Chain A
Amino acid sequence: MRKHTIRAVHEQDIGELLKSLGLSDLMTKGELRCGICGSTVNLDNLLCIYPSKDEVKVCCKNPECYERVLRETE
């Protein structure tokens, strides 16, 4: 059976990953925003990280935002 791959980052690696992608400082300063609704994203409400053109964007836990990310990254 062919597999659909879900890329995931575990809670224990999220800090490192944000650092590698250059998002850690923005989050500390409270300047990291959801790419869909624009709300401030922190470690409590970060759901996913996604590419959008040449930018690394993040999405909050709002299900509507996540659904739009899924559609945009199809």
Chain B
Amino acid sequence: MMGNVGSTLAWLAPNAVWIYVVIYLLTHPHVAEKWGAILNRLFSKISRRAEMRSVALDIQGRIDGFSKSINSEVSGIMPYGVKIEWVTGELTKESFFKDGKIILRMNYHSNQDENVVRAATEYISRGMLSDSRPYVDERIMKSADLISTKKLIEKERRPALQFYYGEILSPARKSDSELDKYVLIMQQLDEHGYFSQILLRELQRLGVTMQFSIPEESVKEETKRFVEFLDEKINKKKPGVDVGTTFVGEKIRTTIVYVARMETVTIEPSLGFIERCVNKGIDTIYVCARGAYNISLVKELEERLESHPKLTRVFQNEVRLPLLRGRRVDNICVRYDVAESDAET
């Protein structure tokens, strides 16, 4: 018995690294795809197939990596991975029409910046919030697509940003001043850390609520008002104003509670505000704070709300924001779903 264990350990020890690598790649397929792209690139000069595999795997790895990270923030925003399917020169008209899909032109891997931007644009406009799209105002959706694609490129292929700005983002902003306004609002929301955590999450929820309903202009209009509300209450918020703020629409009913030293020295006002919201038919409550002290207050608040009969804590995200006014700041956002009750709305 001891001999068996000993020989197993003797085998495992030198192979442990390899076993770890294999398990890691199996559980992180986007990393495997990126490595596959690098390996194929080595042979791309002598093999046509290796060149194509290198281009495809690199794109798949980057997009899948991004969708995994954004889904970990708010699950279900990008429910699909991506697969590049190559079409060769032998495609007939019949099979072209049968498939009914567009065929995107891809360059050699030496122009991968352009390839990634083109594929990301298509992926985001099809794969992100696919159930919600019919119910969201067109400009709001397009702005969300533009900012999400920018985030993808920023995270996964920074050198391609220049191409993205020059060829996609700037022309789109210049061509439509209202779109430009929403792009800037969403960019600012992202800098505050609330673009995906609050805006995309609420748009995703809208898709679930509305599923199979006929899209109505009033709902689209509501998405526009919601974005303007976030701009007013988050982007333009002055310190010391409001413990929390509420948006009550026909489909979106959300409260954002700020826990901040400027507004309160204890959590009692926040608790009182949350309690009033619970009784007003609000669907979701976001509790947000920035900086170590305020985050500790949120954690205290979380403890107090743990046993609340109508609140379910569904998500908590603690991130270090990129530079905000020249310094990095920790940020927390906790989301509570409110159980349906006899609301007084």
Contacts and interface: CB of A to CB of B under 8 A. Distances in A.
A46 B48 CA distance: 22
Contact of B118 (A11, A16, A47): A47
Given A47-B118, A70-B122, A9 B105 contact: yes
A63 B172 contact: yes
Interface string B83-107: 1111111111100110111111111
B82 A3 contact: yes
Interface of A is mostly: mixed
A11 B108 contact: yes
B284 to A, nearest CB: 26
Interface in A12-67: 12-17, 19-22, 46-51, 54, 56, 59, 61-64, 66-67
B80 A1 contact: yes
Interface string B261-287: 000000000000000000000000000
B316 interface: no
A15 B105 CA distance: 11
Contacts of B108: 10-12
A39 B301 CA distance: 60
Given A3-B83, A13-B89, A20-B91, A50 B103 contact: yes
A2 B82 CA distance: 8
Given A51-B96, A67-B125, A8 B87 contact: yes
A6 B93 contact: no
B301 to A, nearest CB: 35
Give the size range of B's interface with the partner: 35 or more
A4 B80 contact: yes
B123 interface: yes
A45 to B, nearest CB: 10
A4 B92 contact: no
Contacts of B123: 4, 6
A15 B83 contact: no
Contacts of B101: 5, 7, 50-51, 73
A6 B83 CA distance: 6
Nearest to B55: A10
Contact of B81 (A2, A9, A20): A2
Given A6-B82, A47-B118, A56-B93, A11 B87 contact: no
Contacts of A14: 105
B85 A6 contact: yes
Interface in B97-134: 97, 99-108, 118-119, 121-123, 125-127
A71 B90 CA distance: 27
A20 B92 contact: yes
A6 B84 contact: yes
Nearest to A3: B83
B105 A2 contact: no
Contacts of A54: 97
The 4 closest A-B pairs by CB, nearest first: A16-B89, A50-B102, A4-B80, A3-B83
Interface of A: 1-17, 19-22, 46-51, 54, 56, 59, 61-64, 66-67, 69-70, 73-74
Given A4-B80, A5-B82, A20-B93, 14 more contacts: A2-B80, A2-B81, A3-B81, A6-B104, A8-B56, A8-B103, A9-B105, A10-B108, A12-B108, A49-B102, A63-B121, A63-B171, A67-B172, A74-B126
